[in-house]
Amino acid sequence: MKVAYFTNDQVPQFSKEKTVVIIFSEFAQLEKSEENFDCIIVADSKIENTIKIIEKIRKNIQFYLLPIFTNIENAEQLLSICDGDITRESWDVLVKKAQAINELRSLLVLPTVPFDLDTKVLQYTFTRENIIITPRLDWQTKALYVYPLLKILAVKTNDDLALLKNLQDRNLIEKETLHDRLHCCSKCHYAHINYIDTCPSCHSINIKEVDFLHCFTCGHVAAQDDFTRGNRLKCPRCQAVLRHIGSDYDRPIENYHCLDCEDNFSEAEVIAKCLMCQHSNTLDRLVSQPIYSYKMTELGRLSTANNSIADMYNVFDILNYLTPQHFNQQLNWILQLAERHLEINFGILAFDIIGLDIFVQKEGRYAGHMLLEECTERIRQTIRTTDFTTRTSENRLWLLAPQTSAEGSQLLGKRLRAIADLTQQHDGIKLTFNIIVLFSGDISLKDETAETLIMKINEDLDAWRD
């Protein structure tokens, strides 16, 4: 076991004879070292220094997955970014932890250049089995909560909630525990809200709570102070003496008075004013934001271990999606209809999405997923609600367009190609859709089935790809 040890004090004796300890005082020394370490211990006597060193390690592409242990007692804030505390656990236990992490780390394709945060989060979570990505309350942040693991792995400022939602949408992580539910400004989505009671008539905040009385004799309603005459109650309008509540007077439901418009009311109108952008929200316009902890799914573990981008194509499975089996049934049905009824026609389009792997290598997985989401939305706007889609491999999509002419089918193919062209980046990288368009009038319908038709199109697409 080779240990990098950061300390400003004496190094303790380790129980294992085969443990090699190399002392560092600054992170720059570790960066220059050519040793391959099995774990890192950060044992500075000041927690501020410990946090700074750990942050540099976790942000560094070379060391961020290494096991880190600390000797700071009662440092709960370090638990989500470290792997153990040498003041609480024996060295033998920590060695077993380090070995387990390094064994999983050896299964990954480790990067040599900086890459996107979601991959770092997935790889870190993969190497720590049963780890939970947990939020921590932080009033200085936009959402009032931060995820320490994401914060320490990130090289630049990042929207934690958006990244976690992205990973969840791809089924790579799943919700574990609901910690809180925030209400955020509908304009800027900040969770710093001030709730203000206002007048329902003029919306002024210049209101006060008042005890009102209602005279049964004349019906006059006013503040209790207006009825008080010495040590008795007397109506200021009809001069009736009010002795018994329920027979002479009662207390109306109104208990607020507006000092601007003089209106009396029973319930104030609550306005939620954002302390960031000053926007005034009604309560029903506030955006609900649940705060969860998360854990990795089995698909997430498999995708991370294989360094696969297959999960990213799942965004297309919401476009009037049918399973391949049901898509074939629908295609068989319309083939039979078209054979019997000349007025029935349809178009079928199949296309491969080419270039996502190159885009992800250049721009990162998160950017790749956002690009596919944009493509999905544009395709959604292009197809009709009566059209059906399916996916027979990770990047091969099918579209069945009932009652579509030959011209309409070609126009649809042209619009799909235009969507791919819109993905071009400033450096020329873009997605390509290899599209085959077929019209029912060009298909020999006699004895044709969905299976045989799809097999022919698959062969043409495979030949195109080769």
Average pLDDT, the chain: 87
pTM for the whole structure? 0.68
The answer to whether residue 266 sits within a structural domain is: no
Residues 421 and 433 both lie in one domain: yes
Residues 360 and 455 both lie in one domain: yes
Predicted pLDDT of residue 17: 61
- Which domain range does residue 70 map to? 1-106
Residues 56 and 156 both lie in one domain: no
Residues 363 and 444 both lie in one domain: yes
Predicted pLDDT of residue 223: 80
Of 58-67, 308-317, 423-432, 438-447, least confident by mean pLDDT is 308-317
Mean pLDDT along residues 114-119 = 77
Of the CA atoms within 13 Å of residue 85, those in its CB half-sphere come to 14
pLDDT in tens, 397-441: 999 999 999 999 999 999 999 999 988 887 788 899 999 999 988
CATH code of the domain containing 82 = 3.40.50.2300
Residues 282 and 314 both lie in one domain: no
pLDDT-above-70 percentage for the chain? 94
More confident residue, 97 or 8: 97
Of 55-59, 329-333, 409-413, 427-431, least confident by mean pLDDT is 427-431
Of 116-130, 222-236, 411-425, least confident by mean pLDDT is 222-236
Predicted pLDDT of residue 369: 80
Mean pLDDT along residues 392-398 = 88
Mean pLDDT along residues 50-76 = 85
Residues 423 and 290 both lie in one domain: no
Distance separating alpha carbons of residues 233 and 242, to the nearest angstrom: 5
Number of domains in the chain: 4
The answer to whether residue 265 sits within a structural domain is: no
Of 92-96, 152-156, 257-261, least confident by mean pLDDT is 152-156
Residues 413 and 291 both lie in one domain: no
The answer to whether residue 389 sits within a structural domain is: yes
Residue 114: which pLDDT band, with cuts at 50, 70 and 90? low
Predicted pLDDT of residue 281: 94
Whether the predicted pLDDT of 193 surpasses 90: yes
Of 280-284, 358-362, 434-438, least confident by mean pLDDT is 358-362
Residues 403 and 439 both lie in one domain: yes
Q: Which residues of 97-128 are buried (b: 16+ CB within 10 A; e: fewer)?
A: bbeebbebbeebeeeeeebbbbbbbbbbbbbb
The answer to whether residue 32 sits within a structural domain is: yes
The answer to whether residue 407 sits within a structural domain is: yes
Whether the predicted pLDDT of 8 surpasses 80: no
pLDDT-above-90 percentage for the chain? 38
Residue 57: which pLDDT band, with cuts at 50, 70 and 90? very high
Distance separating alpha carbons of residues 123 and 64, to the nearest angstrom: 10
Mean pLDDT along residues 50-74 = 87
Of 106, 127, 156, the position where a domain reaches its end is 106
Distance separating alpha carbons of residues 266 and 252, to the nearest angstrom: 9
The answer to whether residue 199 sits within a structural domain is: no
Report yes or no: 312 and 170 within 8 Å, Cβ to Cβ. Answer: yes
Mean pLDDT along residues 49-77 = 84
Mean pLDDT along residues 445-460 = 88
Residues 121 and 36 both lie in one domain: no
Distance separating alpha carbons of residues 180 and 291, to the nearest angstrom: 5
Predicted pLDDT of residue 415: 93
Strands 221-223 and 256-258: what pairing? Answer: unpaired
Residues 348 and 420 both lie in one domain: yes
The answer to whether residue 56 sits within a structural domain is: yes
- Annotate the chain with three-state secondary structure: CEEEEEECCCCCCCCCCCCEEEEECCHHHHHHCCCCCCEEEEECCCHHHHHHHHHHHHHCCCCCCCCEEECCCCCHHHCCCCCEECCCCCHHHHHHHHHHHHHHHCCCCCCCCCCCHHHHHHHHHHHCCCCCECCEECCCCCCCEECHHHHHHCCCCCCHHHHHHHHHHCCCEEEEEEEEEEEECCCCCCCCEEEEEECCCCCCCCEEECCEEEECCCCCEEEHHHHEECCEEECCCCCCEECCECCCEECCCCCEEECCCCCEECCCEEEEEECCCCCEEEHHHCEEEEEEEEEECHHHHHHHHHCCCHHHHHHHHHCCECCHHHHHHHHHHHHHHHHHCCCCCEEEEEEEEECHHHHHHHHCHHHHHHHHHHHHHHHHHHCCCCCEEEEEECCEEEEEEECCCHHHHHHHHHHHHHHHHCCCCCCCCCCEEEEEEEEHHHCCCCCCCHHHHHHHHHHHHHHHHC
Largest interatomic CA distance in the chain:
104
Q: What are phi and psi of 371, to 5 degrees?
A: -65, -45
Residues 181 and 67 both lie in one domain: no
Q: Which residues of 216-236 are buried (b: 16+ CB within 10 A; e: fewer)?
A: eeeebebeeebbeeeeebebe
Residues 328 and 387 both lie in one domain: yes
The answer to whether residue 203 sits within a structural domain is: no
Mean pLDDT along residues 314-324 = 79
Predicted pLDDT of residue 331: 92
Whether the predicted pLDDT of 11 surpasses 80: no
Predicted pLDDT of residue 400: 94
